[in-house]
Structure 1
Amino acid sequence: MSSTPVVVQKDELGRRGAEWISRALLEAVAGGQRASLALSGGSTTGQVYRELAKQDVPWALVDFYFVDERFVPPDSPDSNYLLAKQTLLEPLGIQPHQVFRMQGEREDREQAARDYEKLLPEVLDVVVLGMGEDGHTASLFPGHAALQEKERRVLAVVGPKPPPWRMTLTLPVLQSARKVLGLVSGAGKKDIVQRFRAGEDLPAARVKQTQWMMDEAAAGQTPGPSANTGAKDMSTKTPPLAQFGVVGMGVMGQSLALNVADRGFRVAVWDIEPKRFEDLRHKGAPPSLQGHAALEDFVGALERPRRILMMVTAGAPVDSVMERLAPLLAPGDIVLDGGNSWFQDTRRREAAWKQKGLHFLGVGVSGGEEGARHGPSLMPGGPAEAYALVRPVLEAIAARSEEGVCVTHVGPDGAGHFVKMVHNGIEYADMQLLAETYDLLRRGLGMSADALAGLFEQWNQGIAESFLLETTIRVLRKKDAETGKPLVEQVLDKAGQKGTGKWTVQVALDLGVSVPSIAGALDARNLSSLKDERVAAGRVLAAPQGEALSAEEKANLAAWAHDALYAARVATYAQGLRLIQAASQEYKWNVSLSEMARIWRAGCIIRARLLTPLREAFEKTPDLKNLMVADGLAPVLGKMAPAWRRTVGVATRLGIPVPVLGASLAYFDSYRSPELPQNLTQAQRDAFGAHTYQRRDRPDAGFIHSDWS
């Protein structure tokens, strides 16, 4: 039983149960998706259903299923469907296509059960259960073999009371449900409730995420004054449990907590420094967001299954928080890591927590502080059943584009954090491409920051449109308050990094995938850190002398640079997606690249118009080997290649470094070349190290060694 059962007065049970179900359904339909509600029978549930019919829920989005049913006609007084029809479905005017009843009138009971399995959704959003005097729930009775069922989702069983034959959902279905409400009433249930709360292994105890709600008689308490006399409902002393928790109140943690609260969820937060809760208050945190100084209180304030998002520094701090959380959690609880964790750490953590019966998700979060507050792009990886339980919250807070909500289940274990890592690697390269373009036009054409901002604004109206280009325009227009000059010119040319770019290059080497654009961007940042050495080297190593642009180059360099930027961006994305493909195959993640393009379309740092043809390419050919050869992009690259070459050529002649524009062009030329000079490389390896080689005229004949003397 839930560690905090809700005990209410008898005449309040219907209203309180209906409100609980209503809140759960509103959460499930957030964002406009359909929700599923599974109903049980019994006098207590009938009381709740009558009150539920009064609740303001978008009922057109709700589909109705049944937890169990007796094998009787649908108009029999013993039918659970008839009870639901009279108390809930007819009063609400629910349409027939929304109701999926168990066909208890059928003679072939086994086939009826198998047919109902086909109607069930993968995961039920909200389930209503009861508890019998013997501790059964649904039609799962103590000692029955159905309790051991692991594969079937629906069974035909024999119960101890007439009519004996029943159809019931099995424990795997009930245990995977997102929200479960258990209802108990009457003094006749007092003894079984006591046994249940003492930890006896009864059927109802096995649906561990259930929030139990009971009247005072069932709880063994002396009934208080009736609510109708105006006396205060004693149950209001306990505030409603939070629906989502956030650990870590740094900038990102605060922004995400406020985002979740804004979407109508009750949120509990914890931080090692409670004073940060005041920051939340100053940022307008609603009363539904509550801070807790003690981690134990924070965990206890969450409804089951608990859903906790960690926003702490990657590495050892994540393990430290998990060690503190683990003994406070119960099987079925879910912890999400929203930091930039190393994907192998995420795989390790997910496997370890699986052994404890706990769920762990690694969630890539892109969009910075603004995105976290108002709508990020989210890349969750981990168990599908755990994602199903957090999906309503993640979909509610994520960004939205024309293609839908910017979150999807990326794949198992470390898939989400891997994709986020590569996302950041692409981000490194795209930022460097913009920096190189800025530098070339600034130094090559003498364009001012304002002039560049104006040019880039024109570019941002076309195919080069992107969030990073938009950010670049904003940066170029900002003036320094002290000097009145462009602020960007006062920024020291040393760029930092946090590690994800380095990880991307390291993993690419391990998987044998070429990512020269990302590696070039990483090298550029590393070289930028050598400021003093660069200044000293500039006095010794001469720059090109006497080079000047021709009239044609002056007239066309800006247009060439536009094409070079776009083409190099395509090559960069091609490298990153190729790396995701390789990892997906290696770790059996089954990552959908078209879905990655879709969820990157809004909210994230690398959102760009290019993602639309990118998504279309992988929708058409999911196993496309390289983005550059896609039907919609190969002709574009072919047209832009001459301008790309001229851009790199001008930069090289002027001595202006363009490591990523150049590396991207070399990647393009290497990939499109049927012949590469690695025949010489392999011959050299065989000559000095006997590493063998394959003959061009007999490549399938195996490897041979030659005497090169």
Structure 2
Amino acid sequence: MGANMARRLVAGGHRVVTYDLDATAVATSTENGSEGVTSLEELVSCLPSPRAVWMMLPIGQPTEDTIAALAPLLSPGDILLDGGNANYKDSIRRAREMSGRGIEYIDVGISGGIWGLAHGFCLMVGGPADAVKRMEPAFRTLAPAEDVGYCHFGPSGAGHYVKMVHNGVEYALMQSYAEGFELLAAKEEFDLDLAAVAETWSHGSVVRSWLLELTAAALKDDPGLESLQAFVEDSGEGRWTVQESVDLAVPIPAITAALQQRFRSRQDGPLGARLLAALRQQFGGHAVRRSGD
């Protein structure tokens, strides 16, 4: 569990025991009021039954390995929560596997980033109703308020499915802002203050959002964003969202285009763009720019 989540839970009166392969992460968490341990075995032994163990791990093998190590240590009636950005299909499978051991599995899609400590986290939950009910005090403590920002959406996998689509929407929103502000900057004769535009749009505009507030902050700190490279990673959830749209035959062109743009941002002189230049020269004799020009 991240230090900010642990701190918010401790502040809400919950007992939190933390473990991480990185001792520095454990130390940071204990500075915020949790109890630190040095192994999964110690973690499990410190918790009274029925236990609730909350994982916040990178997707894929790190999560698989941790579950494999934890499962034999847990007892029937314990709850295992996955707050990482797991593929919902993996969550369904893991819930089935844990059910065979009598362990309740809850998938928790979490949004809020580094600002969650101050503003609360948005929690999208899937899993057995009785287990979710047992964890509600913690969920409501982590949420922005007692009655908002948390919802149990359905059976195992539902929470991570909702979070997957959430991240796909996030891709498209970010891409729209990026394109809009690039167009604003291109109108050089107006010499627009982009930070001022973002700040103005953040109040009363139909396109106002927290992402727009972050846009204003980024542009205020670095108006031309010259300290950054145009290289944008993807977490994987955008890919899953697009794949799901193919599987369900539901068109999501804006999200798909946003994902493709992230791929393009990582390429230097991509073959496709060079081929376009070559074809224009071939059929029309158009001028091209040669490497090294």
Q: How does 1:349-360 map to 2 (within 5 A)?
A: 349-360=94-105
Q: CA deviation at 1:468?
A: 0.7
Indicate if the aligned counterparts of 1:331 and 1:357 stay in contact, CA closer than 8 A. Answer: yes
1:509 matched to 2:246: yes
1:496 matched to 2:238: no
Higher relative contact order (CA 8 A, sep 6+): 2
Indicate if the aligned counterparts of 2:27 and 2:36 stay in contact, CA closer than 8 A. Answer: no
What are the superposed Cα offsets for residues 445-484 of structure 1, whole Å, 9 maximum, x if unpaired? Answer: 5555x612212222211222101111111111113xxxxx
Match of 1:361 among 88, 106, 110: 106
Q: Secondary structure at the match of 1:490?
A: coil
Partner of 2:176: 433
Match of 2:214 among 465, 468, 471: 471
Q: CA deviation at 1:277?
A: 2.2
Indicate if the aligned counterparts of 2:125 and 2:160 stay in contact, CA closer than 8 A. Answer: yes
Name the larger-Rg structure: 1
Cα distance in 1 for partners of 2:11, 2:186 equals: 47
Q: CA deviation at 1:376?
A: 0.7
Match of 1:268 among 11, 17, 20: 17
Q: How does 1:451-466 map to 2 (within 5 A)?
A: 451-462=193-204, 463-466=206-209
Partner of 1:384: 129
Percent of aligned pairs sharing the same letter: 38
Match of 2:5 among 236, 239, 256: 256
Match of 2:155 among 396, 399, 412: 412
Cα distance in 1 for partners of 2:67, 2:26 equals: 21
Whichever residue aligns with residue 329 of structure 1, its letter is L
Cα distance in 1 for partners of 2:220, 2:126 equals: 39
Cα distance in 2 for partners of 1:274, 1:455 equals: 44
Partner of 2:269: 532
Whichever residue aligns with residue 276 of structure 1, its letter is A
Match of 1:285 among 32, 41, 62: 32
Indicate if the aligned counterparts of 2:4 and 2:114 stay in contact, CA closer than 8 A. Answer: yes
Indicate if the aligned counterparts of 1:259 and 1:374 stay in contact, CA closer than 8 A. Answer: no
Q: CA deviation at 1:511?
A: 0.8
TM-score w.r.t. structure 2 length? 0.88
Q: Secondary structure at the match of 2:193?
A: helix
Q: Secondary structure at the match of 2:219?
A: helix
What are the superposed Cα offsets for residues 307-356 of structure 1, whole Å, 9 maximum, x if unpaired? Answer: 11101111121121111111111111001000000000000000111111
Q: Secondary structure at the match of 2:14?
A: coil
Match of 1:312 among 52, 57, 63: 57
Single out whichever of 256-265 and 496-505 deviates more from structure 2: 256-265
Q: CA deviation at 1:375?
A: 1.0
Partner of 1:334: 79
Cα distance in 2 for partners of 1:335, 1:468 equals: 32
Q: CA deviation at 1:372?
A: 5.1
The alpha-carbon distance between structure 1 residues 378 and 503, as it changes in their structure 2 partners (threshold 3 A), is same
Indicate if the aligned counterparts of 1:494 and 1:531 stay in contact, CA closer than 8 A. Answer: no
Cα distance in 1 for partners of 2:21, 2:189 equals: 51
Aligned length: 279
Cα distance in 2 for partners of 1:345, 1:267 equals: 26
Q: CA deviation at 1:501?
A: 0.4
Cα distance in 2 for partners of 1:262, 1:532 equals: 51
Indicate if the aligned counterparts of 1:307 and 1:335 stay in contact, CA closer than 8 A. Answer: yes
Whichever residue aligns with residue 451 of structure 1, its letter is D
Cα distance in 2 for partners of 1:542, 1:435 equals: 29
Whichever residue aligns with residue 386 of structure 1, its letter is A
Whichever residue aligns with residue 235 of structure 2, its letter is K
Cα distance in 1 for partners of 2:159, 2:3 equals: 22
Partner of 2:287: none
The alpha-carbon distance between structure 1 residues 537 and 445, as it changes in their structure 2 partners (threshold 3 A), is farther
Indicate if the aligned counterparts of 1:363 and 1:380 stay in contact, CA closer than 8 A. Answer: yes
Whichever residue aligns with residue 257 of structure 1, its letter is A
Cα distance in 2 for partners of 1:354, 1:436 equals: 46
The alpha-carbon distance between structure 1 residues 535 and 511, as it changes in their structure 2 partners (threshold 3 A), is closer
Cα distance in 2 for partners of 1:314, 1:504 equals: 15
- Structure 1 stretches of 5 or more lacking a match? 1-245, 247-252, 480-485, 544-709
Indicate if the aligned counterparts of 1:274 and 1:292 stay in contact, CA closer than 8 A. Answer: no
TM-score w.r.t. structure 1 length? 0.38
What are the superposed Cα offsets for residues 261-306 of structure 1, whole Å, 9 maximum, x if unpaired? Answer: 111111111112334322334xx422xx110112212111112211
The alpha-carbon distance between structure 1 residues 362 and 508, as it changes in their structure 2 partners (threshold 3 A), is same
Cα distance in 2 for partners of 1:534, 1:451 equals: 35
Q: Secondary structure at the match of 2:244?
A: helix
Q: Secondary structure at the match of 1:495?
A: coil
Cα distance in 1 for partners of 2:218, 2:262 equals: 19
Partner of 1:396: 141
The alpha-carbon distance between structure 1 residues 446 and 338, as it changes in their structure 2 partners (threshold 3 A), is farther
Q: Secondary structure at the match of 1:336?
A: strand
Cα distance in 2 for partners of 1:447, 1:359 equals: 59
Indicate if the aligned counterparts of 1:378 and 1:406 stay in contact, CA closer than 8 A. Answer: yes
Q: Secondary structure at the match of 2:226?
A: helix
Cα distance in 2 for partners of 1:421, 1:300 equals: 34
Whichever residue aligns with residue 130 of structure 2, its letter is E
